[in-house]
Copies of this chain bind each other. A is one copy, B any other.
Amino acid sequence: MNTKERARYEARARIIKALAHPTRLFLVDELSRGERCVCELTEMVGADMSTVSKHLAVLKAAGIVADEKRGSQVFYAIRCPCVLKFFECVETVLKTSAREQAALVR
């Protein structure tokens, strides 16, 4: 793995890392249904607003969501809907694992 290759994998890892947290997955899932302001998301997540704000900042830095200030509120929206396909695959992995577990117990 040379330097250039490594840089490519690091760039990819940065995106995936941004998704590698339960709260951020929830945020993406929720935003996939339409834009939401931070206070709405905070309410749903049930954590400190500063925590949610920071999670959103991570997603934004990765280019996964976009923000727009309107009045005193900030609305976030998905920028790359393909991210949702992640979930399908993740579910496949989970189901495959579950099946194997079941097979072992059988």
Contact = CB atoms under 8 A, between A and B. Distances in A.
User: Which DSSP category, helix, strand, loop or mixed, fits chain A's interface?
Assistant: helix
A32 interface: no
Nearest to A44: B1
A69 interface: no
A90 B26 contact: no
A86 B16 contact: yes
A87 to B, nearest CB: 7
Contact of A80 (B9, B12, B89): B89
A96 interface: yes
Contacts of A94: 11-12, 15, 63
B90 A12 contact: yes
